[in-house]
């Protein structure tokens, strides 16, 4: 069975944390499906290398953006809209996951996790919503984790932030439904990414999927075929150590 042939011609999609992992795999596939993809990452060199690869009728641009800085997010999104005149999709894949016990994590480490994983999502949504509302349409895809339900040792900030993102998405979906802006959450499962390997330094006995394996559900959520909002799309049942 082949992947559904989504067509994103004419669409402009912003992917945060898009320089590697799932974000990079999605950006490559969206470009193949004729989208204009803006890869936003603090790893500007990695984002530019991805954008320079070519490989599709679409277009891929790279910008440096720290999602934890609201002013930087606002400027970046404004520049994207000024260049392209629209913004059809936002995928928030940027994430950090330091390893620390809850009784030992420093205030600075905790704040960084919240600033990137939760506040960064809020700032990005705030920045894209005026354009999406004006267009009377758009798709926002946020990332959850099964560990928000199961818990995970040494990942208190990460699990807390991912649980908060899920609740935030439910409320935002209700607030913007009348503008025909869809807000959904994706839980990718155990994917072999640099972030997953860093968060699981001892390895795992669980078989890991490829970043490309998460692309199909994400493209569905970005497409007009996904006529739902406030939903959670998960690739597997939650289990300890996932995502």
What are the residue numbers of the active site? 158
CA proximity to 101, closest of 161, 154, 169: 154
Which tokens go with 217? 């559900």
Residues β-bridged to residue 41: 64
- Cβ atoms of residues 185 and 138 within 8 Å: no
DSSP helix/strand/coil, 199: helix
What are the structure tokens assigned to 122, written together? Answer: 């809020």
* Integer CA distances (angstroms), 126 to 52, 110, 129, 230, in order: 29, 23, 6, 17
Spatial distance between the Cα atoms of 174 and 24, rounded to a whole number of angstroms: 29
Residue 99's alpha-carbon distances to 164, 168, 195, in angstroms, are 19, 24, 12
């Amino acid at each position: 069975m082949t992947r559904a042939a989504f067509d994103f011609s004419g669409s402009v999609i912003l992917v945060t944390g898009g320089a590697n992992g799932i974000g990079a795999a999605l950006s490559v596939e969206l470009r193949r499906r004729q989208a204009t993809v803006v890869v936003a990452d603090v790893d500007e060199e990695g984002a530019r290398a991805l954008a320079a690869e070519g490989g599709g009728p679409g277009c891929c641009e790279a910008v440096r953006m720290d999602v934890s800085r609201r002013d930087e997010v606002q400027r970046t999104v404004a520049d994207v809209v000024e260049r392209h005149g629209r913004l059809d999709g936002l995928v928030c894949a940027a994430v950090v996951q330091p390893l620390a016990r809850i009784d030992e994590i420093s205030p600075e480490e905790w704040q960084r996790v919240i600033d990137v994983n939760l506040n960064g999502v809020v700032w990005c949504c705030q920045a894209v919503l005026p354009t999406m509302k004006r267009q009377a349409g758009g798709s926002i895809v946020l990332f959850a984790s099964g560990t928000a339900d199961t818990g995970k040792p040494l990942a208190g900030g990460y699990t807390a932030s991912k649980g908060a993102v899920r609740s935030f998405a439910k409320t935002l979906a209700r607030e913007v439904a009348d503008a025909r802006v869809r807000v959904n959450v994706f839980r990718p499962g155990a994917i072999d990414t640099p972030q997953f390997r860093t968060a699981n330094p001892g390895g795992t006995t669980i078989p890991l999927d490829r970043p490309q394996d998460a692309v199909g559900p994400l493209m569905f959520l970005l497409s007009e075929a996904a006529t739902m909002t406030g939903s959670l799309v998960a690739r597997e049942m939650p289990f300890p150590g996932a995502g």
